[in-house]
Structure 1
Amino acid sequence: MSNRFDRKHDLNVLDGLTGERRIAVAVAALDRMIVPYLFWSTGHGLAEAGDKLRENLWSYAAAGEPVPDEQSVEQLYPGPGDAVTLESAYAESFLEALQLLALFAETGDPMRLVEIREAAYSMADAAASDMLVRAGAGVRWTPEVESAVSFHPWVSRELQAQDADVVAASGADRLDALVNGLRATSKTKPVVSEEEFGMMRSYQSG
């Protein structure tokens, strides 16, 4: 039994949605990834920038407002002089996914939206790996550990959220109602919550 992201399957799923609704489900996945970036940006006195970025994502989904282009996103990455921390690595994962959205806005290639959803899954998988391996010092990577990561609640939660996004997009009468609904649920079901991210940080420091 698999509990993994399947690019080909996801592309077929998104092909069943109109363009605007495809964008909305991709933005929902991207929004679920933002918590580590908010941690990092707040720690660097940039909390307002993180909140503004989140607002911009949903304005793009709702009304086609411009998203930051690739060059602008490059300016958001942690600088070479910044300490490498758990949150900076996850913040970079979010920004990489944001660049995929910028590429989609430029090219219209639906595979970029698939890759955003895959990035959210990959963040959940990485977080589960950090928790399970860091929690057990000296744990070796075995098929059993790999399976435990694959079926970790955080990974399952993200895959289930992605399925729910598509169901919502298929059934919503209006785009504004869909966007409002996805925005509300994505905030309550992040890839990694503030509490969970705090647990990850404590394992790193411990």
Structure 2
Amino acid sequence: MRRLPALAALAASALLLAGCGIFSGSGETDDGVQPDQAESPTQDPDDAFQSLQVNMVAQSGTHFPDGVDGVTIGCSDTLVTIGTVPIEAETTEEHVSAAVEFLLDDSQYYHGDPAFTNSLTLSETLELSNVELDRDAVQVELTGEPIVQSECEAYRIQAQLYGTVASTADVEEVSISVEGTELNDVLNVEPFDTSQLFNDE
């Protein structure tokens, strides 16, 4: 059984209750959570309280009144980085762990109206085993099995996990394995290009 850390649970509750697909003219949700363009965090690395950078998907054809900026993935979907309320994490590894567990423990596929989606909700056996950060690279180990219902969902799962880890750790070199096999191979998709998350254009 998964155990979401208390602080991550608080962040998750705040984001999900916000209805993160509902925009005001400023592009923020009702409580200030911003579905920002996927880009590296600009938070003070010495601050123990930082927002989780989690990735969700605006599926192709979904119309948002104010538009959505992000990275185009797979089946013409848009990967969007969402900053949650700050949580306390003493190390980058803990921060990455909380972000990954946020996605894995989320039980709601759709969020907001129009909706962002979390394709990891169906993969109930997936659990985080370990996170290691070595200078400019991060390695994440998972156990269990990802549930993939279509090729489009495979791309969404891939982008959500690699994007979330890269955005949270603020590094481009990311390795995610499931039971010892690289996630890209498990999903049978080409490697995800994390460098697109850090474009300053």
Same fold per superposition (TM over 0.5): no
TM-score normalised to the size of structure 1?
Answer: 0.27
Relative to total residues, which structure has the larger helix share, 1 or 2?
Answer: 1
The normalised TM-score by structure 2 is 0.28
Name which structure has the greater RCO, CA cutoff 8 Å, separation 6+: 1
* Between structures 1 and 2, the one with greater strand share: 2
**Considering only CA atoms, is the larger Rg found in Structure 1 or Structure 2?**
1
